[in-house]
Amino acid sequence: MKKRQWAKLSGLSLAAFGAVMVIKSFLPRRLAGSKPRLVVRDGLSREQLPEIRVTFLRCGHATLPEALAVRGSFSLAPLVLAHSAVLIEHPRAIFLYDTGLCSDIFSFLKGEPLFFRRTLASFVLDQPLAAHLQRLGVNRLDFALLSHLHWDHVSGVPDIAGVPLRINKVEYDAARLGRFDQWHALVPRLLGSSPLELFSCDGPPYEGFASSHDLFGDGSIVLVPLPGHTAGNTGMFINRANGGRLLLLGDAVWVADNYLRPATMHPFFWSLVTGDSATACQTLIDLHYFAASHPEVSLIAMHDARMQETFMRVEASLAQRWV
Ligand SMILES: [Zn+2]
């Protein structure tokens, strides 16, 4: 065979191999990990719990084909990923879980690499955090609890400068070992000089999760580690008298389908955003079994626009019933 024919043949084989790899990256994949041992829930009755108002504040959004957010879905239907904060009005404190996006976010992102701005940092700014808080008449926040220290979860901090930031110590230590230098130190620039309060999830196992931190000591707000996406990604149970139980997931998943199937995102995004793939897969499996055995709990991830909208609709109808 002539040299040119060999070159053509190897070119074609390479293209075929590439095509197979691309197709394979969209196929479902069985996750490696073990089935968790579920424990019986701590029987707190509703009467013992306080009334807690929960409001998702969507600050921005991005849209992508569903197949990129959920491996194996094969759907090209547009899926909305939200950039949200959650306002939690508890009798003991008014606080945020994550912070959404600040009014000045684009000036923070100016000068960042084009690849970053065109992929992870590509979004539409809907309503910055400050505008949400003003609209709702919130003029005092006791603290903001950050699920983890990725830029898109601390991007609202400049709008609440000075409010104490509560961070899982595991997360803070891991971020300081390298992630803080990323994207021209974007995360430290966003955190500014707001006071930091580090906490540890060193309490007993809770609902099948390895350990916990009971924020007010009354069982109403219980933090649990959901590691993998980052070392200290922290979930938050909200147990209340005036509505359903909630488990906020930080970025343990992007959308509900990730834990329902369970399935990762497309490998391109999964590898881009996941710190420790094996641990993150185990967390996905834990959430899969937890969701199956606790249909009464709404598991809501911080980018899951559909779940957040559904929750807000149910909250509105409940509020109407109480009037
Ligand atoms: Zn995120």
Whether residue 126 contacts residue 59, with contact meaning beta carbons closer than 8 Å, is answered with yes
Q: Tell how far the Cα of 303 is from the centroid of ligand 1, in angstroms.
A: 7
Q: Tell how far the Cα of 152 is from the centroid of ligand 1, in angstroms.
A: 5
Q: Tell how far the Cα of 190 is from the centroid of ligand 1, in angstroms.
A: 15
Q: Which amino acid is at 37?
A: R
CB atoms within 10 A of CB 134: 12
| Cα angle, residue 230 at apex, residues 216 and 263 outer, rounded to 5° | 105
Using CB atoms within 10 Å of the CB of residue 167, give its burial: 0 to 12 exposed, 13 to 18 middle, 19+ buried.
Answer: buried
Instruction: Please give the chain's pLDDT, 323 residues, in tens.
Output: 677 787 787 777 777 777 767 767 777 777 767 666 544 345 567 778 999 999 999 999 999 999 999 999 989 999 999 999 999 999 999 999 999 999 999 999 998 999 999 888 999 999 999 999 999 999 999 999 999 999 999 999 999 999 999 999 999 999 999 889 889 999 999 999 999 999 999 999 999 999 999 999 999 999 999 999 999 999 999 999 999 999 999 999 999 999 999 999 999 989 989 999 999 999 999 999 999 999 999 999 999 999 999 999 999 988 776 55
Q: Tell how far the Cα of 293 is from the centroid of ligand 1, in angstroms.
A: 26
Q: Tell how far the Cα of 301 is from the centroid of ligand 1, in angstroms.
A: 9
Alpha helices in 194-293, H assignment, sequence order: 256-260, 267-273, 277-293
pLDDT digits (tens, 9 = 90+) for 92-107: 999 999 999 999 999 9
Q: Which residue has the tokens 């803070």?
A: 172
Q: Tell how far the Cα of 210 is from the centroid of ligand 1, in angstroms.
A: 23
Spatial CB neighbours of 24, under 8 Å, sequence gap ≥ 6? none
Strands (DSSP E) along the chain, which ranges?
53-65, 78-90, 93-99, 124-125, 143-146, 165-168, 196-199, 213-214, 221-225, 234-238, 245-248, 297-300
Q: Tell me how far apart the alpha carbons of residues 95 and 72 are, in angstroms, rounded to a whole number.
A: 37
Q: Tell how far the Cα of 302 is from the centroid of ligand 1, in angstroms.
A: 7
DSSP for 155-169, please give it. TTGGGGTTS-EEEEH
Q: Tell how far the Cα of 298 is from the centroid of ligand 1, in angstroms.
A: 19
Q: Tell how far the Cα of 22 is from the centroid of ligand 1, in angstroms.
A: 25
Domains and CATH numbers, the chain: 44-322 (3.60.15.10)
Q: Tell how far the Cα of 38 is from the centroid of ligand 1, in angstroms.
A: 27
pLDDT at position 174 is 96
Q: Tell how far the Cα of 304 is from the centroid of ligand 1, in angstroms.
A: 10
Q: 3-state class of 34 per DSSP?
A: coil
Element of type H or E holding 265: none
Question: Whole-structure pTM over 0.85, yes or no?
Answer: yes
Element of type H or E holding 40: none
Q: Tell me how far apart the alpha carbons of residues 256 and 263 are, in angstroms, rounded to a whole number.
A: 10
Q: Tell how far the Cα of 251 is from the centroid of ligand 1, in angstroms.
A: 5
pLDDT at position 189 is 97
pLDDT digits (tens, 9 = 90+) for 3-58: 778 778 777 777 777 776 776 777 777 776 766 654 434 556 777 899 999 999 99
| Cα angle, residue 307 at apex, residues 129 and 62 outer, rounded to 5° | 55
Q: Tell how far the Cα of 300 is from the centroid of ligand 1, in angstroms.
A: 13
pLDDT at position 303 is 98
Spatial CB neighbours of 159, under 8 Å, sequence gap ≥ 6? 99, 102, 103, 128, 129, 130, 133
Q: Tell how far the Cα of 137 is from the centroid of ligand 1, in angstroms.
A: 27
Q: Tell how far the Cα of 153 is from the centroid of ligand 1, in angstroms.
A: 6
